[in-house]
Amino acid sequence: MAPRLQLEKAAWRWAETVRPEEVSQEHIETAYRIWLEPCIRGVCRRNCKGNPNCLVGIGEHIWLGEIDENSFHNIDDPNCERRKKNSFVGLTNLGATCYVNTFLRVWFLNLELRQALYLCPSTCSDYMLGDGIQEEKDYEPQTICEHLQYLFALLQNSNRRYIDPSGFVKALGLDTGQQQDAQEFSKLFMSLLEDTLSKQKNPDVRNIVQQQFCGEYAYVTVCNQCGRESKLLSKFYELELNIQGHKQLTDCISEFLKEEKLEGDNRYFCENCQSKQNATRKIRLLSLPCTLNLQLMRFVFDRQTGHKKKLNTYIGFSEILDMEPYVEHKGGSYVYELSAVLIHRGVSAYSGHYIAHVKDPQSGEWYKFNDEDIEKMEGKKLQLGIEEDLAEPSKSQTRKPKCGKGTHCSRNAYMLVYRLQTQEKPNTTVQVPAFLQELVDRDNSKFEEWCIEMAEMRKQSVDKGKAKHEEVKELYQRLPAGAEPYEFVSLEWLQKWLDESTPTKPIDNHACLCSHDKLHPDKISIMKRISEYAADIFYSRYGGGPRLTVKALCKECVVERCRILRLKNQLNEDYKTVNNLLKAAVKGSDGFWVGKSSLRSWRQLALEQLDEQDGDAEQSNGKMNGSTLNKDESKEERKEEEELNFNEDILCPHGELCISENERRLVSKEAWSKLQQYFPKAPEFPSYKECCSQCKILEREGEENEALHKMIANEQKTSLPNLFQDKNRPCLSNWPEDTDVLYIVSQFFVEEWRKFVRKPTRCSPVSSVGNSALLCPHGGLMFTFASMTKEDSKLIALIWPSEWQMIQKLFVVDHVIKITRIEVGDVNPSETQYISEPKLCPECREGLLCQQQRDLREYTQATIYVHKVVDNKKVMKDSAPELNVSSSETEEDKEEAKPDGEKDPDFNQIMHAFSVAPFDQNLSIDGKILSDDCATLGTLGVIPESVILLKADEPIADYAAMDDVMQVCMPEEGFKGTGLLGH
């Protein structure tokens, strides 16, 4: 049962017998109690709804048990951001820069490259002041080398768990939101770095890229006729190995070096033979670098689709790679040891994630670098593990080959890095230069200051929480009032006081006041009765008000409620009395007229009036539930929404008794007296009261007008039978032979006239023919003869000359418009001309056509049809035959913001209807290709009911498995516009 009903049936039960003047203090307190039984703490598991005595389940549980200090704050432990001992520093992924982070890992752990970079001169000296760095300035690296220096120094000695490489990425001009080809990035950056370092004077710095990464091979061509060898020497920084069709790395290397036959159209021109000869060509490895980068060509160009795709096939590789069988000069040291595996997770070339497995050259341990997260592998072993647990894009699953000891296989590795084995131990003393170390120390100091600040904030929150905990423990036990003096406090405020996540505000009890500035009886359900002791502490600490003691219980509201409840009880008795009185016949002229509708609903109307009075009592000086409301405005709004008041259903428009006796009934004087008690302002009409004289006159006039309209309609229908039934109408495209002149009226006139003729009592007569709508401001005709036979035929109606004479008699005609047929030629006329009066106005006609075109191009919602062309035949998809699109805005709307949810027009819906991705869609209309993505529908000529032809390119092979294939909507530009191409 709802609290309001329980209030009436329980706490207000005494009101049926007690008069308003007899209401005592005990009655008042009883009226304010919804439940008479007090809440027993410990029995309730949740708050008793509406019971002001129940103080259980209002948020106290979080303070009364074991307290977790972490619940007093939402600040993470700053030490979680601290670098762990003997661990590496992570790199932040700025959006789509994981491919950059993987190579930074590989280059950082190349100790020789790192040492050489540290030896590069730096502009940091400009920032030095005496023995330290200027405090008011932040160090800004000026070159790519300086950015890499500072980044490596931070990776080596920073106290942070991970660092931000945004300075380095910004210096290269890379788009952080666009995934790029990692292999291309590696080539371009190495080329840029080599070009930059080549200008250094120190040979250890100038030649470091060549020493570490540069090898040499020769393209050797041998003539089969004379045996002459032709060599073309070339340097390389990585070997690009085809993996398609291969299972082992050694097979890929063998194919890279295999001999190629030059025959037929591909024969070789031999300088010695001075003619084209059959020949063989192959690559010979002349020298190998210290660091051998093997690029596995997983991302290949698909000529059919015009896009790259990824080869998700397994390739096996060993930790030890002997390259001696593949080099031309034997006897050297060509045994390599695996030092890094770069992984691309994902089935598409345009999406996925890059991570790096790299061996620490100092400890020999393997680490997995995944942006900020770094994981050390157990047992100094490479473990690819989950990096290979990725579903195949095709239905056929390829099983992972078995790998022996010291070998691995991967379907996601795109680059393998091998280091030349040497007997010498690697240099483990790569020292950060003093100027860089000072910059790192400064950053570490900032980090430590931040840690201290965060720790202090945590401590303050904890101290505040503990103090609040002690306050709650102390006060919550003293909240129940019992028999001692008490006050009422808002339940909402108490809950916020117990909520540790929100600061406690001053107490505000205004929303619970009645119009007498006391506690409203109906608001007791959202209040809590607390002890005066607890209330004193609350108001002294938090302020607010007003304070609601036992004196705040409103006697006026209780008395008013008592009066209304007694009236409702009396209403039930009076309803029975009135029903009995209505059964008796009315004698003489003592009766009163009452509307039948009012008699059916008078009890409900009386109840609504009582509820309104009750509702007015609930208002507090025009305020309710804390929201201001003007009483007069609220009544006016309710009045507009309600039906007529009692007995107003028999009022005529002039405020007198209506003339229709079917809508009213005569009741006795006794019955009217009872009804008048509830509706004292109701209109009163004794039985002798005459009906409204004005309505009687209007009724007679209406009857006369109806008769007149019927007569006019019959006369006009008889005079113009063909115009009414649309039979035997003349047609311009098939001009009738029996006349040379036809007249024109607007179709609007014909339609309005027909409405009147069909229903003369409901419509007004048509008195004039308005042909001005068919003419321009200069008085010229707006339509050509050709247009009136086609698109404009719906706007005009053709009239026979005999009909026109009758129309001129029956109606007022503003303009005469006629078409005359003239035969041209004296003998055997061969041409017919049609002349209009008035003549066509060419300028206005042209303006009308332009306006019609603009109207077609400026629409808010329209249907556009899309037909798919397959093998030069149109195919319309049944599941999505049309698109509802929005078009170009009008000039006035262009600057206005679009409503929420409204999108610009696009054709992505076609992807779902025809399974054609946007970059595979070739759209055209009337032979014109729709290629401008920035154009509006209007400028493209797409008007309502247009048909767009769709021709689809071949889809990408693994399209179904590509989550974010939508990235490829624009042509690939790679690193165009970045600093990588600046050199």
CA 902, 904, 908, 914 torsion-angle sign: positive
| Residue among 423, 453, 430 nearest 153 (CA) | 430
- If you write DSSP's letter for every residue of 836-890 in order, what string do you get? EESPB-HHHHHHHHHHHHHHHH--SSEEEEEEEEETTEEE--SS--EEEE--PPP
Residue type, 485: P
The Cβ of residue 692 has, within 10 Å, a number of other Cβ atoms equal to: 18
**Annotated catalytic residue 98:** yes
Separation CA 860–CA 882 (nearest Å): 16
| Residue among 599, 397, 620 nearest 518 (CA) | 620
Q: What are phi and psi of 289, to 5 degrees?
A: -80, 175
Contacts 24+ apart (CB under 8 A), 898-903: none
- Both tokens of 521, joined, read 């009886």
Residue 802 three-state SS: helix
Taking each helix axis as running N to C, give the angle between helix 555-583 and helix 669-678, from 0 to 180 degrees, rounded to the nearest 10: 160
| Residue among 509, 545, 524, 523 nearest 619 (CA) | 523
Residues facing residue 666 across a β-bridge: 593
Active-site pick, 48, 54, 98, 512: 98
E-only strand ranges, 275-347: 275-277, 279-287, 291-296, 299-302, 307-310, 315-318, 320-322, 335-345
Active-site pick, 246, 353, 357, 408: 353
- If you write DSSP's letter for every residue of 4-25 in order, what string do you get? HHHIIIIITGGGGTS-GGG--H
Using a 10 angstrom Cβ sphere, with 0-12 exposed, 13-18 middle and 19 or more buried, the burial of residue 430 is middle
Cα 113–Cα 115–Cα 121 angle in degrees, nearest 5: 105
Specify whether the CB–CB gap between 466 and 458 falls below 8 A: no
CA 195, 197, 203, 208 torsion-angle sign: negative
The Cβ of residue 92 has, within 10 Å, a number of other Cβ atoms equal to: 15
CA 632, 638, 641, 647 torsion-angle sign: negative
The 8-class DSSP code of residue 41 comes to T
Catalytic residues: 98, 353
